[in-house]
Amino acid sequence: MAQRMKVENSTSVNWRHWTLLMLFLIGMMYGQNLSGDVWWHLKTGQWIVEHKSLPFDDPFSYTAKSPVVLHEWGAEVVSWIIYRYIAPWALAVFSTVLISAAFAIAFALAVKKSGSVLAAFVVTAAGAAASAGGSEMRPQVYSFLLFAVLMIVLEKWRKNGGLIIW
């Protein structure tokens, strides 16, 4: 009986914490200004789509004609497509979705590992607050979600072994 009550309370608290966490994340990202290099990433994404290749030198900044290594080209193309074919505001929505998904995964993993919804919420909210400065739509935002997915893969590999990691 006590065990059943604990599970029921855990589920209702869990739902409230999920809602609170999502509201916290959306509030944290609401109204953020875009930094100057977001426009560089968008223009580079446009250039890649139009030329169907990667530029070998920087065509847009004061260091034009200097060699450039575009390790973020995939994010730049996706961002340009969202900006061009959906709407500029969709970049903010997409960024919010990526970051919210990343922290939702982190929260779920923290609950699973700690067994405490409250502790998981506090740690996840602290992590979200610490990352607030890097939550605008820039290529590194993709890495938040990809890192969370990597944590799932590693946790499954640690628990089950096998070849899931490959």
The confidence score (pLDDT) of residue 40 equals 86
Query: What values do phi and psi take at 116, rounded to 5?
Result: -120, 115
Confidence of residue 6 (pLDDT cuts 50, 70, 90): very low
The confidence score (pLDDT) of residue 83 equals 93
The rounded distance, in Å, linking the Cα atoms of 121 and 36 is: 33
Given a cut of 80, whether residue 22 has pLDDT beyond it is: no
Mean pLDDT of 78-87: 94
- pLDDT tens for residues 32-59? 556 678 888 899 999 999 999 998 888 7
The rounded distance, in Å, linking the Cα atoms of 166 and 74 is: 22
- The answer to whether residue 154 sits within a structural domain is yes
Q: What is the longest distance spanned by two Cα atoms in the chain?
A: 72
For residue 127, give its domain range. 2-160
The rounded distance, in Å, linking the Cα atoms of 4 and 1 is: 5
- The answer to whether residue 45 sits within a structural domain is yes
Q: Which of 149, 72, 139, 137 is nearest to 103 (CA)?
A: 149
Q: How many CB atoms lie within 10 A of CB 44?
A: 25
- The answer to whether residue 24 sits within a structural domain is yes
- DSSP structural state of residue 35: P
- The answer to whether residue 41 sits within a structural domain is yes
Overall number of domains in the chain: 1
- The answer to whether residue 166 sits within a structural domain is no
- pLDDT tens for residues 118-130? 888 888 888 888 8
What is the three-class DSSP state of 40?
helix
- The answer to whether residue 8 sits within a structural domain is yes
> Which carries the bigger pLDDT value, residue 77 or residue 10?
77
Confidence of residue 12 (pLDDT cuts 50, 70, 90): very low
- The answer to whether residue 165 sits within a structural domain is no
3-state helix, strand, coil in the chain (%, to 5): 75, 0, 25
Percentage of the chain beyond pLDDT 70 is 77
| Burial label, 83 (beta-carbon count in 10 A; 0-12, 13-18, 19+) | buried
